[in-house]
Chains A and B, each alone.
Chain A
Amino acid sequence: MLKKKLKLIVTFHTSSEAMATEKACKDEGIIGQLISAPRELTADCGISYAAEVGDKDRIEELLNSKKIEYDRMVEIEV
């Protein structure tokens, strides 16, 4: 059975934005990983970035400062 855990999920318009997010977060020491976009958020087959819920403000600030666009930032169980 697949185990679920509450995560912060960031979805994107392009894979390029997802890769930019992964790199920016890694450079800042933020722990997260790219995962298949959860179907609750999108029926598209794109990738999303999953991180700890507590890092939401940091990630939001980081993406805004680096002008990395994203679609949504949502807390869900994945």
Chain B
Amino acid sequence: MIYLDNAATTLHKPEQVIDAVANAMRTQGNASRGAHGATLSASRVVYDARVKIARFFNFDTPSNVIFTCNSTEALNIAINGTIKEGYKVISTDTEHNSVLRPLYHLKKTKSVDLQFIPADINGVLSIEDAKKIIDNKTKVVVVNHISNLTGNINDIKTISKIAHNAGAILIVDGSQSAGTMPVDVKNLDVDIYCFTGHKGLFGPQGTGGLLVKEGIEVDAFKRGGSGVKTYEEDQPNEYPTRLEAGTLNSHGIAGLSTAIDFINEIGVENIQKKERELTEYFYNEVIKIDGIKVYGDFQSHAAIVSLNVKDYDSGEVSDALSNDYGIATRPGAHCAPRLHIALGTKYQGAVRFSFSYFTTKEELDAAVNALKEIAS
């Protein structure tokens, strides 16, 4: 199989990541539960992972690295933990349902004044519109770093300035950016950065987290065992315990920690460079094919190319790629309803090709040839 669905999850994981998970399952007890060797082994792995993740994103406070099972959970924690009754909240047309659905729910249940920065026909956000709708009544801004549909990279630094000038906090969905490009949360001035472990970071599914800047208050969303302050009735207030009730996925976190070592060995800049070269090569080949329409702005772009062939149903094209050519892609709506509406692809959907560091030029040639045949 030629796997070109890396924006959904990276299938090709480094062998050392798989080994680390297996080793953790053989040796690690329950982190933060007592002082015997097995629990301390798990606690050390989890703590080391917090330190590595903090360093990886140029984040100052390892104890404010909160582990979750994915970015959807991280975003739900961030959104529900900061937005109160009647808040004005700004998001964008480029968001995934992991942001949209929690926000729509708060609009209904907490009378949130929810507004969106619009995307144009290429999926690009208007900074001028952002300046207009983010005002001093705005409390929270939630923005996608990279669109999972077009691969466009949003200008987080500029939006951060606009949000902070208005007195709002900024939550960033880093699902597609973590591991695929250098992310410096200090330089971007992000208040909460949410990430998943199983996409660009090459970690196991069931890992992810959020980085909560010092001073930012996120309410606890679940309460339970913490291994500390047992006789307190409420969840302990200190991070990370405030947001981490219950047994952590320390086996998965061991894999994620090793995955970050792998990325650091290669250099995230080199990963981005290789993925960009692959993306540009594929883009330049497919735009030559009659009947193919590509979506997005390729000036500032990640390793995602979404397209349609003539007026064919995107699901039929993806199925043909899979069944006839052994190429895995993702059709349909990609959990990004507002952006599909902005692109004019609500009815047709789109076929998404997404690449990773392990994708080869030969695999892209096979995909281009398949598209040529389907479009002929």
Interface residue ranges, A against B (CB under 8 Å): 12-20, 22-23, 34-36, 43-47, 69
Nearest CB of chain A from residue B142's CB, rounded to whole Å = 27
> Given A14-B238, A16-B62, is A46 in contact with B227 using a C-beta cutoff of 8 Å?
yes
B231 touches A44 (CB 8 A): yes
- Report A-chain residues with C-beta under 8 Å of the C-beta of B236: 13-14
Nearest CB of chain A from residue B235's CB, rounded to whole Å = 12
From B228, B230, B231, B240, A12 is in contact (CB under 8 Å) with B228
Stretch in B31-39, B102-110, B354-362 with 4+ CB within 8 Å of A:
B31-39
- Report B-chain residues with C-beta under 8 Å of the C-beta of A23: 47, 51
Say whether B294 faces chain A, with CB atoms less than 8 Å apart: no
B229 touches A15 (CB 8 A): no
- Report B-chain residues with C-beta under 8 Å of the C-beta of A15: 31-32, 43, 227-228, 241
> Given A19-B43, A20-B63, A23-B47, is A14 in contact with B34 using a C-beta cutoff of 8 Å?
no
B47 touches A16 (CB 8 A): yes
Say whether B40 faces chain A, with CB atoms less than 8 Å apart: yes
A45 touches B63 (CB 8 A): no
B47 touches A20 (CB 8 A): yes
> Given A43-B231, A44-B230, A44-B231, is A13 in contact with B238 using a C-beta cutoff of 8 Å?
yes
Contact string against A for B residues 44-79, beta-carbon threshold 8 Å, 1 for contact and 0 otherwise = 101100110000000000110000000000000000
> In the complex the two chains form, what is the Cα distance from A69 to B228 in whole Å?
15
- Which of chain B's residues has its CB closest to A16's CB? B63
From B46, B50, B51, B228, A45 is in contact (CB under 8 Å) with B228
A19 touches B44 (CB 8 A): yes
- Which of chain A's residues has its CB closest to B33's CB? A45
B241 touches A34 (CB 8 A): no
A19 touches B228 (CB 8 A): no
Nearest CB of chain A from residue B75's CB, rounded to whole Å = 22
A45 touches B227 (CB 8 A): yes
The 4 A-B residue pairs with the shortest CB-CB distance in the complex, in nearest-first order? A19-B47, A15-B32, A46-B228, A13-B238
Nearest CB of chain A from residue B41's CB, rounded to whole Å = 11
Known A15-B228, A69-B238; further 8 A-B contacts with Cβ < 8 A: A12-B228, A13-B228, A16-B241, A19-B44, A19-B46, A22-B44, A45-B33, A47-B35
